[in-house]
């Protein structure tokens, strides 16, 4: 979580450079005009954006149908996401883009591929035909469990072409997590790879799919396997099929399905405050409008830009700003398979120089890692192609912002700090590089048409510089349309706090200029290296171990990852507290969820501090986890000895 004090005292302001501002897609005048319209009539603003940025097969009857908390955008209109990302760039007056690079892909071992719009179109059509030939129909769910290879984007686009709904499961999640998501989504097919490369080694994916499908009680009929590493995999007859074999004979002709604007585009699971991840549902027309408009405006995309967002397609940032946003804008998007520091700590900077990257979008946690590794690594490479930088995923501390500005941007690149969520589909609060002054640590102002504000618990707007809860008052087109299979949870989680107002779960304040300073999650969701993990999720994983009686999980501040996971565990009588049990529990959590959920510390205790009504006192545990004296009221604590024992465990 961001340090409130250092944010409150941050005073520096950076103005857009004259040259940049003059050439920007959205200049000061345009921004002012859009803000005015967006303020007065957000529906009309978004309808104008939908006309300008998206191609439709037939128009809508109504731009917004809002029956809180259910929003429908562009009611009755028909479109297709893959048509917008591909066909429209290679037809008519745009036909010249046929041979423009759509995807520049770099594998971790150093292999690379450049795929043009024409090629991508052909491969997507072919794969859409493969999906069809295996019985995938409109509205069927397809789970993708992939490394960062172009086939991940091809599979996504192929699903959208025929109206199948994809659900990507990040390749770092375990087979257990994969099994739950396959079951919850009711997926008919899984698209995976034998494996991928990470930190110089081939890791397996297909083996995890096999594990997830063990026992046979699942809806999956086919598993399509991309050959990436060549490692040995088992292919189950009648179920498992090689991608490259299927593609050989597949036709390159596949007209895009004319889909309703509200047709389900994808489900993406994300952590919430319970043990069970939520399947966030996004639909077609509104989502596409939101991501296309924001990509063009915030990243100032021009025809000759080389745009690189470092996110994995397994996260929302990979969906919206590696694949759909940039391709819908007809841009060149870079995909990189591996880790930032392999084979050396300068891999990313080498890639920027190699491909002439002009726009670079990454997470504060990565920036902090690079600060620690030393300036000599970026300084060894020619980064002069860069003209715009972005960050996402967590609050950026002003020190990291300044380093990004000085060492990577050489003081000439504007920085857009973008606040948004899996649920919002696209960016909600961000600078517009052609006309908004930036302040290190602030995401600046809401995008036009986004009615964000800061409220107290009762729904009253708080005064400038007063802390409160981030809120959004009017629906926006990229907004989630629900939680897959759980209407009640959707209503309660996001719309239960105030009347007809969206609650994102973040704390924030505004300064006197109305700039937003996001303070981080205020619920039981942790942000580890920009990735969301629920405390309850890790707790359920821990208590599923036979030797664990009870567990409580909290976050503690960490210099690099933002937050680190600390688990307090009460073992059952027979289990021995000690290093080997700690190791076993860390491994258990990795198996249950994935390495991102692995606790940094595990502390054993005979009991957890609880209130008299039996609630675990998390605030107190957070104090202990970060080495602070317990603060606040402990008078309702059930057993004072418990704190004493927990603190002893510190030594
Ligand atoms: C946090 C990632 C501060 C926030 C796109 C949010 C941020 C959660 C920022 C969503 C930012 C994201 N400044 N905090 N610029 N961007 N967050 O769903 O707590 O993985 O609620 O979406 O990340 O994480 P998610």
pLDDT of residue 187: 98
* H helix or E strand, kind and range, residue 207: helix 206-212
pLDDT of residue 6: 67
Q: Quick check: CB of 420 below 6 Å from ligand 1?
A: yes
CB 322 within 8 A of CB 347: no
* pLDDT band (50, 70, 90) for residue 646: confident
pLDDT of residue 382: 98
Place of tokens 């309660």: 492
Q: Quick check: CB of 208 below 6 Å from ligand 1?
A: no
Average of per-residue pLDDT across 569-597: 92
Q: For 116-141, what is each residue's pLDDT tens digit?
A: 999 999 999 999 999 999 999 999 99
Q: For 542-554, what is each residue's pLDDT tens digit?
A: 999 999 999 999 9
Q: For 2-12, what is each residue's pLDDT tens digit?
A: 566 666 677 89
Residue 623 lies in a domain: yes
266 has pLDDT over 70? yes
**Strand, helix or coil for residue 469:** strand
Q: For 233-264, what is each residue's pLDDT tens digit?
A: 999 999 999 999 999 999 999 999 999 999 99
Range from 28-32, 83-87, 333-337, 638-642 carrying the lowest mean pLDDT:
638-642
Q: What's the token pair of residue 38? A: 């967006």
Q: Quick check: CB of 521 below 6 Å from ligand 1?
A: yes
pLDDT of residue 618: 85
* pLDDT band (50, 70, 90) for residue 633: low
Q: What is the dihedral of CA 180, 184, 187, 191, to 10 degrees?
A: -40
Quote the ligand 1 centre to 527 CA distance (angstroms). Answer: 8
Average of per-residue pLDDT across 72-78: 98
Q: Quick check: CB of 317 below 6 Å from ligand 1?
A: yes
Nearest to 54 by CA among 310, 393, 426: 426
Euclidean distance between CA atoms 493 and 496, whole angstroms: 6
pLDDT of residue 1: 45
Residue minimizing CA distance to atom 12 of ligand 1: 393
Q: Quick check: CB of 419 below 6 Å from ligand 1?
A: yes
Euclidean distance between CA atoms 561 and 268, whole angstroms: 23
Nearest to 475 by CA among 66, 38, 63, 39: 66
651 has pLDDT over 50? no
Residue minimizing CA distance to atom 22 of ligand 1: 421
* pLDDT band (50, 70, 90) for residue 216: confident
Residue minimizing CA distance to atom 7 of ligand 1: 394
Range of the structural domain that residue 608 is part of: 529-650
Residue 388 lies in a domain: no
Residue 29 lies in a domain: no
This prediction's pTM:
0.94
| Pure H helices in 91-174 | 117-133, 150-162
Buried b (16+ CB within 10 A) or exposed e, 345-358: bbbbbbbbbebebb
CA-CA distances (angstroms) from residue 277 to 188, 380, 495, 542? Answer: 20, 42, 18, 16
* pLDDT band (50, 70, 90) for residue 345: very high
The CATH number covering residue 568 comes to 3.30.300.30
Q: For 432-471, what is each residue's pLDDT tens digit?
A: 999 999 999 999 999 999 999 999 999 999 999 999 999 9
Q: What is the dihedral of CA 497, 315, 378, 106, to 10 degrees?
A: -170
**Any long-range contacts for 220-223 (C-beta under 8 Å, 24+ apart)?**
220/143, 220/182, 220/187, 220/188, 220/189, 220/190, 221/134, 221/135, 221/188, 221/189, 222/134, 222/135, 222/188, 222/189, 222/190, 223/189, 223/190, 223/191, 223/192
Place of tokens 């729904």: 459
Which atom of ligand 1 is closest in space to residue 443's alpha carbon? 15
CA-CA distances (angstroms) from residue 259 to 115, 263, 286, 480? Answer: 26, 6, 12, 18
Per the prediction, the chain carries an average pLDDT of 94
* Three-state secondary structure string covering 266-314: EEEEECCCCCCCEEEEEECHHHHHHHHHHHHHHCCCCCCCEEEECCCCC
Residue 643 lies in a domain: yes
Q: What's the token pair of residue 254? A: 């596949």
Cα dihedral across residues 569, 573, 574, 579: positive or negative: positive
CB 272 within 8 A of CB 464: no
Q: Quick check: CB of 520 below 6 Å from ligand 1?
A: yes
For a mutational test of ligand 1's pocket, the pick from 415, 532, 555, 597, i.e. the residue with the most ligand atoms closer than 8 A to its C-beta, is 532
Residue minimizing CA distance to atom 1 of ligand 1: 394
Residue 622 lies in a domain: yes
Average of per-residue pLDDT across 60-75: 98
Residue 550 lies in a domain: yes
Euclidean distance between CA atoms 288 and 426, whole angstroms: 9
Residue 360 lies in a domain: no
196 has pLDDT over 80? yes
- Number of separate domains in the chain: 1
Residue 637 lies in a domain: yes
Q: What's the token pair of residue 411? A: 């003081």
């Amino acid at each position: 979580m961001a340090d409130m004090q250092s944010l409150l005292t941050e005073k520096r302001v950076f103005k857009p450079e004259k040259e940049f501002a003059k050439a920007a897609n959205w200049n000061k005048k345009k921004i002012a005009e859009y803000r005015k319209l967006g303020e007065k009539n957000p529906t009309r603003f978004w309808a104008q954006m939908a006309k300008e940025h998206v191609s439709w097969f037939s128009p809508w009857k109504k731009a917004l149908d809002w029956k809180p908390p259910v929003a429908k955008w562009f009611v009755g209109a028909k479109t297709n996401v893959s048509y917008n990302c591909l066909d429209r760039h290679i037809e008519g007056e745009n036909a010249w883009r046929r041979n423009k690079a759509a995807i520049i892909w770099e594998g971790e071992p150093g292999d690379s591929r450049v795929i043009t719009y024409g090629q991508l179109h052909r491969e997507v059509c072919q794969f859409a035909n493969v999906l069809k030939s295996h019985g995938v129909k409109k509205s069927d769910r397809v789970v993708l469990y992939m490394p960062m290879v172009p086939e991940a984007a091809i599979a996504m686009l192929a699903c959208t072409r025929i109206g199948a709904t994809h659900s990507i499961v990040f390749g770092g999640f375990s087979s257990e997590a994969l099994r739950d998501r396959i079951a919850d989504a009711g997926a008919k097919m899984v698209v995976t790879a034998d494996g991928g490369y990470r930190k110089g080694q081939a890791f397996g994916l297909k083996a995890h799919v096999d594990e997830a499908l063990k026992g046979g009680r699942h809806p999956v009929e086919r598993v399509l396997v991309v050959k990436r590493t060549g490692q040995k995999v088992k292919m189950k007859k009648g179920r498992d099929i090689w991608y490259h074999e299927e593609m050989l004979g597949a036709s390159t002709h596949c007209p895009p399905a004319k889909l309703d604007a509200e047709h389900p585009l994808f489900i993406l699971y994300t952590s919430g405050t319970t043990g069970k991840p939520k399947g966030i549902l996004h639909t077609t027309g509104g989502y596409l409008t939101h991501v296309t408009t924001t990509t063009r405006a915030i990243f100032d995309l021009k025809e000759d830009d080389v745009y690189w967002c470092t996110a994995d397609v397994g996260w929302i940032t990979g969906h919206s700003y590696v694949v759909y946003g940039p391709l819908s804008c007809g841009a060149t998007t870079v995909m990189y398979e591996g880790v930032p520091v392999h084979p050396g700590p300068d891999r990313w900077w080498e890639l920027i120089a190699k491909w002439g990257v002009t726009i670079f979008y990454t997470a504060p946690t990565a920036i902090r890692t690079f600060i620690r590794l030393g300036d000599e690594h970026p300084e060894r490479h020619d980064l002069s192609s860069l003209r715009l930088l972005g960050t996402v995923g967590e609050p950026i501390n002003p020190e990291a912002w300044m380093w990004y500005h000085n060492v990577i941007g050489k003081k000439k690149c504007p920085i857009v700090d973008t606040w948004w969520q899996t649920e919002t589909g696209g960016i909600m609060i961000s600078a517009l590089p052609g006309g908004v002054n930036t302040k290190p640590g602030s995401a600046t102002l809401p995008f036009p048409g986004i009615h964000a504000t800061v409220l107290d618990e009762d729904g009253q707007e708080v005064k400038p510089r007063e802390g409160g809860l981030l809120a959004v008052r009017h629906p926006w087109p990229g907004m989630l349309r629900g939680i897959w299979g759980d209407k009640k949870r959707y209503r309660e989680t996001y719309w239960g706090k105030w009347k007809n107002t969206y609650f994102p779960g973040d704390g924030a304040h505004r300064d006197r200029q109305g700039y937003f300073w996001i303070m981080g999650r205020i619920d039981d969701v942790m942000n580890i290296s920009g990735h969301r993990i629920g405390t309850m999720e890790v707790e359920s994983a821990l208590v599923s171990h036979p030797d664990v009686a009870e567990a409580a999980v909290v976050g503690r501040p960490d210099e690099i990852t933002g937050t680190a996971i600390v688990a307090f565990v009460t073992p059952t009588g027979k289990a021995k507290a000690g290093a080997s049990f700690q190791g076993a529990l860390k491994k258990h959590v990795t198996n249950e969820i994935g390495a991102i959920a692995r606790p940094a510390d595990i502390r054993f205790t005979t009991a957890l501090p609880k209130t008299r009504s039996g609630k675990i006192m998390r605030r107190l545990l957070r104090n202990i986890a970060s080495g602070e004296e317990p603060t606040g009221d402990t008078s309702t604590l059930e057993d004072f000895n418990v704190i004493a024992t927990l603190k002893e465990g510190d030594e």
